[in-house]
Amino acid sequence: MALDRVKALVFDVFGTVVDWRGSIAREAEAFARRNGLKLDGERFALDWRALYQPAMDKVRKGQLGFVKLDLLHRMNLDELLARHGIAGLPEAEIAHLNEAWHRLDPWPDAVPGLTRLRDRYILGTMSNGNVRLMVDMAKHAGLPWDVILGAEVARAYKPDPTTYLTGVEYLSMQPAEVMLVAAHNGDLLAARKCGLATGFVGRPYEYGAAQTRDTKAEHDFDIVADSFVDLADKLGC
């Protein structure tokens, strides 16, 4: 793919730009302390995230109409709390924990890399997170997005082609003028099928030291980098 055609970079966010596992673990432990509970924060984060794809699958398969990720996160949190036998907490406490996804911290290279990339490219989100979640996270983490794209504006969850192609349409570009940047092989393959350029940024500790999947690029993506700063170097920014 001719990279000199690329005018916009759109980013997977959870895991690629921000460290959901570390951030959710910290928030879960603070939640437990405030409410006199005992929780393994890291375990809680991984268990919550494990419910993420099955919840979106309900929408992908048409068993559930499109709902925002905030609501799927909440349904999953309610299930997880019930599994832990946690009940009777104030609604504000549960809502605050659910919004922990709005307050995820970036990987250390994310903001420095994006800041360099932004001079040359339009930078957008291409996340399954809803618009408000992305906006709150950007303000929290200092992420310099030019535009929020992704699942909610397409009313379809990745890897549905509609998600990528609706983003391309809002950008008034051809698919080959847009590169998806992601730490996940499957996301990039789906984008490539839609004609987008692809950039893999490795996040081998997204799920912790024992991570086995997505530890490296498994296909010949247009660019393979090990951080956003490396990506900026490789794109000559």
Q: Which stretch binds its own copies (CB under 8 A): 86-94, 127-135, 190-198, 218-226?
A: 127-135
User: Which of 170, 227, 230, 237 is in the footprint of its own copies by CB under 8 A?
Assistant: 170
Nearer to its own copies, 121 or 200 (CB): 121
Site for its own copies in 171-210 (CB under 8 A): 171-173
* Main-chain phi, psi angles of 213, to 5 degrees: -100, 155
Smallest separation, CB 120 to its own copies (Å): 11
What CA–CA distances, in Å, run from 225 to 122, 142, 229?
19, 22, 9
Instruction: Tell the burial category of 6 from Cβ atoms under 10 Å away from its Cβ (0-12, 13-18, 19+).
Output: buried
Nearer to its own copies, 148 or 182 (CB): 148
Smallest separation, CB 161 to its own copies (Å): 19
Instruction: Please choose, from the candidates 2, 223, 1, 237, the residue with its C-alpha nearest in 3D space to the C-alpha of residue 120.
Output: 237
Smallest separation, CB 172 to its own copies (Å): 4
Smallest separation, CB 98 to its own copies (Å): 12
Instruction: Tell the burial category of 65 from Cβ atoms under 10 Å away from its Cβ (0-12, 13-18, 19+).
Output: exposed
Instruction: Please name the residues in contact with 101: beta carbons below 8 A apart, sequence gap of 6 or more.
Output: 20, 24, 69, 70, 73, 129, 133, 137
Q: Which stretch binds its own copies (CB under 8 A): 165-173, 174-182, 218-226, 227-235?
A: 165-173
Asked whether position 63 contacts its own copies by CB under 8 A, the answer is no
Asked whether position 165 contacts its own copies by CB under 8 A, the answer is no
Smallest separation, CB 82 to its own copies (Å): 25
Q: In what order do the strands lie in the sheet with 197-201?
A: 147-150, 122-127, 8-11, 178-182, 197-201, 223-225
User: Which of 39, 104, 131, 190 is in the footprint of its own copies by CB under 8 A?
Assistant: 131
Asked whether position 135 contacts its own copies by CB under 8 A, the answer is yes
Nearer to its own copies, 30 or 147 (CB): 147
Binding mask 139-158 for its own copies (x = CB under 8 A): x------xxx---xx-----
Q: What angle do CA 132, 136, 142 make, to 5 degrees?
A: 140
Instruction: Please name the residues in contact with 65: beta carbons below 8 A apart, sequence gap of 6 or more.
Output: 59
Residues that bind its own copies in the complex, under the rule CB under 8 A: 68, 70, 122, 130-132, 135, 138-139, 146-148, 152-153, 170-173
